[in-house]
Amino acid sequence: MPHFKTFLLPKTFVIAAAFIFCSVAVSLKAEGQSVQPSYKLSTFATSTAVFSQPDSIVRWKNSILVGYQNHAAKDGTDGKSSTIVQYSLNGKIQRMFSVKGHNDGLRIIGEDTLWALQNEDANPNLAVIDLESGKQKVFFPAAPHGGGYDDMVVKDGRVFVTASNPNLDSAGNNDFPALVTMSLDGDSVDVEPVLNGNAQATDIPTGAPTTLNLTDPDSLTVDPRGNIVLNSQADGVLVFIRNPLSQNRTVGHLSLSTASGPTTVDDTAFPATPQDFLLVSDVGAGVVYRIDSPEFGFEPGVPYSSSDTAGFVAVLNLDNGVLSPIGTGFNSTRGMIFVSPASEGGDERHGDR
């Protein structure tokens, strides 16, 4: 299996918190967004004069971390920075971190380390932040597929990452890895391919064999059965990968649609308990919304997805890929997580863009 290694920028520094604001959830009334009657919609956090364009969301212990992209270029060429804001579970700002480039992936690695991926189109960097001390190191992973890196999940102690914006051949096919693993080795990052963009798979609704063409690898999550779920965003498909590093690996393909026809999604998340609440970012509106289900609760294990193009949050049918919206009228919904309020250990079920 090919193996790629690149080296970090030898720089360690502390990002200090600044500009403390408060953003407590309030009910939405006279706005275009709406949810079905059994759900409740409120605002968890909003953009400010200091940061804008919320996208990725993760939980760390009893805090929520949101990546704000601040209109930075997706290839990092404008030199701008993104802001990662740490909130309490009720939306009060606690700290902020600055990362160079366009943030598009956040993940807690281990107990207290945040990995933040920047520049998903090209020139990617990985900021590794010790959340206890605030110290940060910046790495530059190799990108032999020609683009950047987008999202991460941890499975069996390994960090899996989507290889985004790949170089396509003249026929529009992706012959490069769509999914890789990353690991830190001293002052360098090891990148190893896992799943090619043109891998063989089984179509979930029909059981027929199919050849993938993942032209837009994007968000990742892990479903309740332990499968890695890869969203190839512009292709409108989810790919389910069981035993990703084993010879017994299986790959399932699911095309996405609504009653109106094919659609795209940005993120998918699974509730763990009926008492969970859902956080979803709207990058166009500059808002992180909270959705509760006070009447019936969220059914554990049932997937919900956000659509970047259609501006909805929907229940996903895993048998046929059909999405049934529970909330509509959003601008461009992106990162999602389900949060269990009573979980002291910081349980979450999500993917993030």
Host domain of residue 235:
4-352
Other beta carbons within 10 angstroms of residue 94's beta carbon come to 13
**Amino acid, res. 186:** G
In the DSSP assignment, the letter for residue 175 is: -
Here the tokens at position 44 are 């968890």
Sign of the C-alpha dihedral, residues 312, 30, 36, 58? positive
DSSP β-bridge partners for residue 348: 339
Give the CATH number, domain containing residue 159: 2.120.10.30
**Amino acid, res. 257:** S
The lowest-confidence range among 5-19, 22-36, 264-278, 298-312 is 5-19
Strands 304-306 and 257-258: unpaired
pTM for the model: 0.89
Cα distance between residue 239 and residue 231, in whole Å? 6
| Longest Cα separation, the chain | 56
Cα distance between residue 328 and residue 312, in whole Å? 4
Residue 314 near residue 111 (C-beta atoms within 8 A): no
**Amino acid, res. 201:** A
Quick one: the chain helix, strand, coil %, rounded to 5?
A: 0, 50, 50
Here the tokens at position 88 are 């309490």
In the predicted model, is pLDDT for residue 254 greater than 70?
A: yes
Residue 338 near residue 272 (C-beta atoms within 8 A): yes
Task: Give the pLDDT score at 110.
Answer: 96
DSSP β-bridge partners for residue 160: 153, 181
Give the residue-averaged pLDDT of 258-265: 96
Task: Give the percent of the chain with pLDDT over 70.
Answer: 88
Give the residue-averaged pLDDT of 153-160: 97
Residue 134 near residue 15 (C-beta atoms within 8 A): yes
Confidence of residue 5 (pLDDT cuts 50, 70, 90): very low
Number of domains in the chain: 1
Q: Which residues contact 260 (CB under 8 A, 6 or more apart)?
A: none
